[in-house]
Structure 1
């Protein structure tokens, strides 16, 4: 379940709320009781670090990595070894 950040436009109270995707957004501020509680737009707390599949399989740099370590894609019979692309 995602965590959503809410902030009251009336009193400034803010709170992070754990909600299901199907839950309706909260509207009533738990601090002042007014219907000015709005969901905030925040950055995702997801960051890729280290050497994982994204580093080896999708790297398009000039450092010798083109795909999953070989010139042909092992997941796709339509791979093009000359261009290093699938499909």
Structure 2
């Protein structure tokens, strides 16, 4: 059910009301009881939920709708140090790739 913003034109009282779309608009102000309670025009707020939606999909920026998602998938995860079975971190050289063999003059 949507939430509608109402404001009294006589006393200025404002209230947000949860109503069905089929409900008739309120007209009587709950504070001053005059028939000057009017529904205000406000921006609609909504949130996309479910799999496949990202909060950043429809925000402005240079990446556009698909650029943000693509940038996330192209990013490399941070390297975590390997752990030994006793829980201690392995030395950094153990996880580094081997250096290529130096070239010799006879290879040319």
**Normalization by structure 1: what TM-score?**
0.56
> Mapping of 1:5-84 within 5 angstroms?
5-46=5-46, 49-51=55-57, 55-56=65-66
Question: What is the aligned length?
Answer: 57
Structure 1: unaligned runs, 5 residues or longer: 60-64, 66-87
1:22-69 deviation per Cα after TM superposition (whole angstroms, max 9, x unaligned): 0000000000000000000001123673237xx34xx9xxxxx9xxxx
Query: Runs of 5+ in structure 2 lacking a partner?
Result: 49-54, 59-64, 71-108
How far apart in 1 are the matches of 2:30 and 2:3?
17
Distance 1:10 1:44 in 2: 26
Q: Which has the higher helix share?
A: 2
For the aligned residue pairs, the C-alpha RMSD in angstroms reads 2.6
Kindly indicate whether structure 1 or structure 2 has the higher relative contact order, using CA contacts under 8 Å at least 6 residues apart. Answer: 1
Larger Rg: 2
Show structure 1 runs of 4+ deviating over 4 A. none
